[in-house]
């Protein structure tokens, strides 16, 4: 883990989403313990999974949009193509 503070504008949104998913996951555990139906549990697990996946996607896109740009810096258009394509394809992760 890195020792320096690394914050972006999207981090509060990501934390909020993850905390909501955390609470939702606790609810899923309670559903299982209470013997709720598998369909209900699976639907709720899917919602938790999607929330976490969206948080990850937001974090990765933010990193590419800021950190990668900081490292790459200003490049001529002909040299930016690969970077721009990488950022675009990363949306499908």
Domain-embedded: residue 2: no
Residue range(s) defining the domain that contains residue 18: 11-92
How many domains does one find in the chain? Answer: 1
3-state SS assignment for residue 46: helix
Across residues 6-17, what is the average pLDDT?
Answer: 89
With a cut of 60, say whether residue 85 has pLDDT above it. Answer: yes
pTM of the predicted structure, to 2 decimals: 0.74
The two structure tokens encoding residue 40? 């209900």
Burial of 81 (0-12, 13-18, 19+ CB in 10 A): exposed
Q: In the prediction, which pLDDT does 80 show?
A: 78
Question: pLDDT tens, 20-73?
Answer: 999 999 999 999 999 999 999 999 999 999 999 999 999 988 888 877 777 777
Q: Is 82 or 18 the better-scoring residue by pLDDT?
A: 18
Count CB neighbours of 62 within 10 A. Answer: 16
pLDDT value at residue 35: 97
**CATH, residue 78:** 1.20.58.1000
**Per-residue b or e along 3-19, where b marks 16 or more CB atoms closer than 10 Å to that residue's CB:** eeeeeeebeeebeebbe
């Amino acid at each position: 883990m890195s020792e320096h503070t690394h914050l972006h504008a999207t981090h509060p949104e990501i934390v909020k989403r993850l905390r909501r998913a955390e609470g939702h996951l606790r609810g899923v555990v309670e559903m299982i313990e209470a013997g709720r139906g598998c369909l209900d549990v699976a639907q709720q697990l899917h919602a938790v999974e999607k929330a976490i996946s969206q948080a990850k996607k937001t974090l990765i896109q933010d990193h590419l949009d800021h950190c990668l740009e900081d490292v790459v810096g200003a490049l001529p258009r002909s040299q930016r193509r690969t970077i721009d394509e990488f950022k675009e394809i990363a949306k499908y992760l």
